[in-house]
Amino acid sequence: MNSTTLNITIFSDELDRKESLLASIASQQVFLVASFLVACLFYAHHASRSKLPLPPGPPGWPVIGNLLKYPDSRRWLTEYLWKFNYGPLVYLNILGKPMVVLTTVEATHELLNKRAAKYSGRDLSVMAGDLVSKGYNLIFRQYDARMRLHQRLNVAGLNPRSAALYDPVLRLESLQLLHDILTESRAQPGSEGDQTPRPFNPRWYFQRANVGSLHVILYGDRLVKEDPTTAGKMDFLLTCPTLQALQNPPLVDIFPWLKSIPYALSPWKLRAESMFKEEEAYHLRNLRNAVNQPGYNVAKQVADSAKRLNMELSDTEISWVIGTLFLANGDTSPTFITWFLVMMINYPRVMHKAQQVLDEVVGRDRLPTHDDRPRMPYIDAIIDEVMRYRPVVPSGVDHLSVEEDEYMGYRIPKGTIIVTSQFSLARDKAAFGADAEEFRPERWLERNDLPIIGFGNGRRVCPGRHVAKEILWIMVTRLLWAYEMEAPIDPETKKKKVIDDRDTVPVGIVIGPSPFEAVFTPRGKWVEDIIENDFNNADFDVNRIMEDVARSKGL
């Protein structure tokens, strides 16, 4: 190769390198310009969003904001009244913390369901969620990878197919309820010849039947009145440390920065540690008992799955996964059945219409079962209407916005507490019609697009809802089949007492009717005969029943 050719080759290579360098520089410049434009657009978008107004709401005071206008007692009524003044979104400032109350079905569906990724956070209760349960309670967890793992564990035992397989358990526990009521209603000793049913408060029996059903499913053993341990387990549902922390929040829940104060100056931390150990012991005791049961149960399935899949879950964590489900049902389902009783007493037309359906489909020679359900949509309509008309958690369970958002031209800041006012949603005329203030089950037969109130929204929907629905259906259906439900006679006025559905009592965030007595009159001698015969011939071996469930699941 001569020198001229060599020079040309060197020059060509140098030219290629320069062109490549220029192309690289140009590419980088294009990328930088594009990135700059994207950043400008992003900033402009967020700057314009930050200029949007906050939703309307009641005026507040300096520092405390709307604290005094948002009472703990009957707050759902306050939320409902705000709806008429401020609309679908009501903005509050509680000690500097932004809060938005959702008062319509449309707003709730748009934000919590369609935009679930932005609204699946939790405003963590420092005492209940952090100190007392140490983040193990599913209700208080942020929507993170650990929570998704817990949800996966629950699905296998609580999905719709599994819920249907638990029918033999529900038949047994609902039969126990009918027999308990029959026994309790009979005249007191010494009133020979008096066949008038005795009025009594059925709340304990409702709780035993509902919670007892779930206890068999989750832990594999029954809760019966004759068992000396049952009373303690039932009482714990209403006195558990997490519930106490919610009912009596300390200052650290109002001023979270107090959490950083040393133990020696934080008496609530010492108390919280003691409360955690108490609840942990309860959950671990239930888990260990469940694992040692000879038959199938959900706790055993979850523990086996966690071990088989190397999920690295401690016994404490597994026990809280199951225990949270159990405690969450401890008052919600019994409260629903109590509300159902109130509505049947106050709306006998509905009760008698349902009984006519039952007589036509089931007859009077056997108890109703889930096989009858497809031919009795009116029973489901009653359940949905009670759940709508008297939601057991009327202010819902708060969500938290994890990023800034905009809706209806209003700005919703990141870190805003989102309150789903279930009581307001249930009376949304745009969703339920002009008669939304009335108790009318027929609306659920006239339309098939009505939203279900009561099981939460989005990614935080209740994981036990399918089992809960099955439990509620069998309890409600069999009570309607067996009994006339009435208010007792007032001995002074000689008239039936008034059971006012506006007279309520709170248990944590659950709101139920104030305690009352009711009269359960068997609809005929045939009711007593069938209940007694079925009860005397019932198979109470739940381990055998749950083994049949396991075989049906293919386990």
Contact in structure between 99 and 419 (CB atoms under 8 Å): yes
CB 471 within 8 A of CB 413: no
Q: Which residues pair with 505 in a beta bridge?
A: 512
Residue pair 157/306 in contact by the 8 Å Cβ criterion: no
d(CA 203, CA 217) in angstroms, rounded, equals 21
Q: Are 412 and 433 in contact (CB under 8 A)?
A: no
Provide the terminal-to-terminal Cα distance of the chain, rounded to the nearest Å: 81
Alpha-carbon 449 to chain mean position: 21
Token digits of residue 441: 């089950």
HEC letters along 297-313: CHHHHHHHHHHHCCCCC
Which three-class secondary structure state does DSSP give residue 178? helix
CA dist., res. 185 & res. 300, Å (int): 38
484: which DSSP letter? E
Which tokens belong to 133?
């349960």
Q: What distance lies between CA 207 and its chain's CA centroid? A: 16
Three-state DSSP class for 241? Answer: helix
**Do residues 337 and 173 make contact, with C-beta atoms less than 8 angstroms apart?**
no
| Residue 40 annotated in ligand binding | no
**Which residues sit in the known binding site for heme?**
462
- Residue numbering of the annotated binding site: 462
